[in-house]
Amino acid sequence: MKHSDPKKLLMARAASQDHFRTPRIASPFQPRIEALMQTEEWYDWAGYKAPLSLWDEELEYFAIRSQAALFDISPMVKYRIEGPDAEAFLNRVTLRDVRKLKPGRVHYTAWCNDEGHVLDDGTLFRLTSDRFRLCSQERHLPWLLDSGIGFDVNIIEETKSIAALALQGPASFAVLRDAGFNGVDALKIFDLAEFEHDGENVTISRTGFTGDLGYELFVDQKLALSLWDRLWQVGEQRGLRAIGYAALNRARLEAGLIVANSDFITAEHAIRADRVRMPDEIGLGFMIDMEKPHFNGRRAIQQARANGGLRHVLVGLEIEGNIPAEHAIVYHQGKREIGLVSAAIWSPMAKRNIALASLERPYGDTITGDLWVEIYAMRELRYQKLMKRAKVVPRPFIKLDRRTANPPADF
């Protein structure tokens, strides 16, 4: 038997599997972001090379709150779900009642496995009566496809083919208007509409992850750069800045929003049996609609609610002092360990030291007094251990009228 040349075989194999040469994928906006990148602070977002910060985390944050900020959300996982049964399908998969979501509207939702454990949270865009876009942190194609058994529905992964931008901040509406998106002023919070760009469509929704006035734009990836340029040209006068995740993370925490696999562990990622969470345990209980038709996890959730199976609770904390309590342990009466802080910052807007924490019930639920966090502040190679008083406070930590004001304010 004649064997092939092993060198040739090796080369052929390398050519067919060259993904390792680009361990991080470039977003369609990469040329623009690279051009603006000064600090070279990158991070990995779902396999994409994404900016953590481009020039100054602090100033990027203030661009969100006092100017306009452009954040590339292309790496966000996106599915197009369409067909006559799309509504029924999504109603079975997700917690909220999709029948109540009208075409041209967006809602924040989550979905669970059979055990009622949260697989992910995300936003559901109803583009038309039978066409949706589901955006999420993690990938779910096998789950969605298997959920589609018995439904007349088509599920298409469009993470790569659709480029997306978040335009956030008080001047975001002005930027869109100046860029010629006529009619954007009619969008109320959680509305979406199609606008024309380069002879094709761009979907603009009044949504975001900052608790501020803001929009999200979705466009075919081949139009990504021209869309960026269209915004950038008019944005200069409005103080438009490109920002990275670090700044966004501050803004979302002020808005009290949670991040999957940061503030809770998604069911498919959890290795340890006690790390999974039900919606009620991460503050998403409000989404559960027991009146709507059957949805994944319904029986398990109903059972847990009836039998005291909900062991955790996610709370907002206000902590004395000004040292961020990131990943600090939470105590009751300074002794009993009852949970952990998952995210914390000193909030420039709230002028408070804020945090999100996951606590073991009844702490944070019926017992909310006498809570403490133990912060380890590194001071010149020595930890300074700070025991700080914490109190449970409602989320969001800040509420900005401009987020929902109609018509959107022109700054």
Point out which residues bind other proteins (CB under 8 A): 88, 92-93, 113-115, 143, 146-147, 149-151, 293-294, 296-299
User: Shortest Cβ distance from residue 132 to other proteins (Å)?
Assistant: 17
Shorter beta-carbon distance to other proteins: residue 93 or 247 = 93
Shorter beta-carbon distance to other proteins: residue 30 or 109 = 109
Q: Within 10 Å of residue 42's Cβ, how many Cβ atoms?
A: 18
Q: How far apart are alpha carbons 54 and 25 in whole angstroms?
A: 18
User: Shortest Cβ distance from residue 302 to other proteins (Å)?
Assistant: 8
Enumerate residues 6+ apart whose C-beta is below 8 A from 134.
78, 79, 81, 90, 122, 123, 124, 125, 144
Enumerate residues 6+ apart whose C-beta is below 8 A from 232.
32, 70, 240
Shorter beta-carbon distance to other proteins: residue 99 or 299 = 299
- Judge contact between 184 and 176, C-beta under 8 A: yes
User: Shortest Cβ distance from residue 193 to other proteins (Å)?
Assistant: 31
Closest among 404, 255, 253 to 325, alpha carbons compared:
253
Shorter beta-carbon distance to other proteins: residue 74 or 91 = 91
Q: How far apart are alpha carbons 121 and 102 in whole angstroms?
A: 20
User: Shortest Cβ distance from residue 19 to other proteins (Å)?
Assistant: 28
User: Shortest Cβ distance from residue 127 to other proteins (Å)?
Assistant: 23
Q: How far apart are alpha carbons 317 and 272 in whole angstroms?
A: 26
Enumerate residues 6+ apart whose C-beta is below 8 A from 13.
none
Shorter beta-carbon distance to other proteins: residue 94 or 342 = 94
Shorter beta-carbon distance to other proteins: residue 275 or 292 = 292
- Judge contact between 158 and 79, C-beta under 8 A: yes
Shorter beta-carbon distance to other proteins: residue 143 or 173 = 143
Shorter beta-carbon distance to other proteins: residue 115 or 220 = 115
The three state secondary structure string of 36-92 is HCCCCEEEEECCEEEEEECCCHHHHHHHHHHCEEEEECCCCEEEEEECCCHHHHHHH
User: Shortest Cβ distance from residue 144 to other proteins (Å)?
Assistant: 9
Q: Within 10 Å of residue 156's Cβ, how many Cβ atoms?
A: 13
User: Shortest Cβ distance from residue 146 to other proteins (Å)?
Assistant: 5
User: Shortest Cβ distance from residue 290 to other proteins (Å)?
Assistant: 10
Tokens 């309590």 identify what position? Answer: 325
